[in-house]
Amino acid sequence: MNDPWHLAGKRIAITRAREQASILRQELEGLGAQVVEIPTIEIRDSASWEPLDQAIGHLQKFDFLLLTSVNGAKRFLARLQAGGRNTRALMHLEIGAIGPATAAVLTEAGAKVDFIPRQYRAEGLLAVLEGRDLRGKAFLIPRAKVARDLVPRVLREHGAEVQVVEAYETVAAAVSPAEIQRLFTPRPDMITFTSSSTASHLAQLLGQERLRELLAGVVLASIGPITSETVRVLGLDVAVEASESTIPGLVRAITEYFTAPVGDTRH
C-alpha cells in the first residue's frame, strides 16, 4: 500500500459530461490509471432564464435556498450577478447545499452556507430539516429540469411553500458509433457513474442489448445509492459504491476495490 500507483494498468471509463470530468480524470490518472471518457451527458443552460430571474428578483419572499448540485449553484449565482446583485442579497436566507462541492461554489462567491447534510443526497437535506416547524416557510430550489421530486414533496407535506425553478438541463450527449467502438477497444476494466443520468443516458446511447454485451465483465462503480439503484434498474450489477457521495469518495472506493487482498469478496 506504499505504492502510490494503485491503479496502474487499469483502464477506467468516465461517463460524466466533458466539462465536469477533469477532476475525476486527474485523480484517477494520478493513481496510475489509463482514463477514457465516454461523455454520456451534456449540461445545458435553461431554454429561458425568465423563471429563475423572476425568483431572484423576489428573494425577499423566501426563507430558505436549497442548492442540490454544483451546476445549479453556478447558474444561480450567474443569474444573480446578471441581475446586478451579489451574495449580500442572500444574507437573510438559510442556505443548504447538498454536499461540499456545491457548498464550495457558494462560499467562494461569498455566500454563507448554513448546512450540509451528512448524506450528500436529497434524503440528507430532509434529515437536516427534520423536526423543524416548516409551516409557512418559503423555499427556493434552483435545479435541473428533470430531478427527483422527493425534497419538494416532503417539504410541502410539512406545510412549506416550495418554488422549484429550472436552472439547467441534462441531455444525452451525441457520441458516434466509431467513438464508442474506440472507447471499448480494449474493453475498460471499470466504468464509473457519477449520477443516475450518466447511467440512463449510456443505456439510451447503446441500447439495452448492446449495453449488456459491451459491459459484460466490466466492473461498474457508482458514486452513491441513488445512482446504484438506477444502474440496477437497467439490469446491471454495481460492484463498487462510494460510501461518501463525492468524487474523492468514489476515487477512494475504486482504489480500495483494486487494492483489496487476493480472495477478497469484492473481486
List the chain pLDDT tens, one digit each, 267 residues: 445 778 999 999 999 887 777 889 999 999 999 999 988 988 999 999 999 999 999 999 999 999 999 999 999 999 999 999 999 999 999 999 999 999 999 999 999 999 999 888 888 999 999 999 999 999 999 999 988 899 999 999 999 999 999 999 998 888 888 888 888 999 999 999 999 999 999 999 898 888 989 999 999 999 999 999 999 999 999 999 999 999 999 999 999 999 987 556 555
Contact indicator for 143, 69 with CB cutoff of 8 Å: yes
pLDDT of res. 75: 97
DSSP 10: -
- In sequence order, the β-bridge partners of residue 95 are 65
Q: Taking the domains of the chain in order of start, what are their residue ranges?
A: 11-40+173-259, 45-170
Phi, psi of 108 (to 5 degrees): -65, -25
For 7-55, strand residue ranges (E) read: 11-14, 34-37, 41-45
Nearest to 145 by CA among 69, 205, 200, 201: 69
CB neighbour list of residue 117: distance below 8 Å, 6 or more residues apart: 96, 98, 99, 123, 124, 125, 127, 128
Instruction: Kindly list the distances between the CA atom of residue 197 and the CA atoms of 25, 42, 152, 247, 254, in Å, as whole numbers in the listed order.
Output: 19, 10, 20, 16, 20
pLDDT of res. 168: 95
Q: Do the domains 11-40+173-259 and 45-170 sit in the same CATH topology, yes or no?
A: yes
From the candidate CATH numbers 3.40.605.10, 3.40.50.10090, 3.90.740.10, 3.40.50.10470, the one assigned to the domain spanning 11-40+173-259? 3.40.50.10090
Residue type, 24: L
Preceding peptide of 51 cis, ω within 30°: no
DSSP 43: E
From the candidate CATH numbers 3.30.930.10, 3.40.50.10090, 2.40.10.120, 3.20.170.30, the one assigned to the domain spanning 45-170? 3.40.50.10090
d(CA 195, CA 197): 5
Residue type, 122: A
In the block, residue with C-alpha cell 448554513: 114
Q: Cell numbers of 217, please?
A: 465483465
Q: Give the three-class secondary structure for 14.
A: strand
Q: What DSSP string describes 112-152? A: PP-B--SSSSHHHHHHHHTTS--TT-EEEEEEESS---HHH
